[in-house]
Structure 1
Amino acid sequence: MFRVIPYRGFEIHITLTPVERDLYSVTFQITGHNVSANNADGALIKVRHGPFTARWAYLVAEIAGQAAVDVLMGPQVD
């Protein structure tokens, strides 16, 4: 299962992999701007402390991806 979430000009690509019935391991990758799979910023990152239900997996990966973008971009000025 796969989902893409736009955030602050980046895309957070979330992939769920089934490990048991109704439980998934989850990875995410950030793309956009100058980020690519060839550098550490665009690396595929596995979310720890799983497996998760699908709903929790998407939520945890989205929050982790947003936090990573916030670290790359700095504080968001409103």
Structure 2
Amino acid sequence: MHQVFTYRGFEIHVTLTEASPGLYDAVFQIKGGVNVGVIDELGAETKLRKGPFSPQKAFLSAQQAGQTAIDAVIGDDES
């Protein structure tokens, strides 16, 4: 399963692979944005730890991890 989330001008691509019946491992990758240096830093595929997860939990956790990575590199805009 694959889903794309948009956040702060970037795309967070999340891919789930079935680890056991009904449970999934999640990998996210950040793409897009105008700052190529940020993509170089964030563009690698990253597997979530502490899995496997239900599909809903996997997508939500990967989306939040991607958002946190973007905020860490370009700064949190909620000051």
By the TM > 0.5 criterion, same fold?
yes
- Is residue 46 of structure 2 the alignment partner of residue 32 of structure 1? no
TM-score normalised by structure 1 residue count: 0.89
Normalized per residue, which structure has more helix? 2
Which portions of structure 1, spanning 4 or more consecutive aligned residues, are displaced by more than 2 angstroms?
none
Aligned twin of 2:8: 8
Identity of aligned residues (%): 45
Find the aligned partners of 1:77 and 1:17 in 2 and give their Cα distance. 33
Aligned residues: 75
Which amino acid in 1 is paired with 2:63?
Answer: E
The alpha carbon displacement at 1:41 in A equals 1.7
> Is contact 2:42-2:70 (8 Å) kept?
no
The alpha carbon displacement at 1:30 in A equals 0.5
Find the aligned partners of 1:21 and 1:77 in 2 and give their Cα distance. 39
Find the aligned partners of 2:13 and 2:65 in 1 and give their Cα distance. 11
Aligned twin of 2:64: 63
Q: Considering only aligned residues, what root-mean-square deviation do their CA atoms show, in Å?
A: 1.3
Instruction: Name stretches of at least 5 consecutive residues in structure 2 with no aligned partner.
Output: none
1:55 is paired with a residue of what secondary structure? Answer: helix
Instruction: Name stretches of at least 5 consecutive residues in structure 1 with no aligned partner.
Output: none
TM-score normalised by structure 2 residue count: 0.88
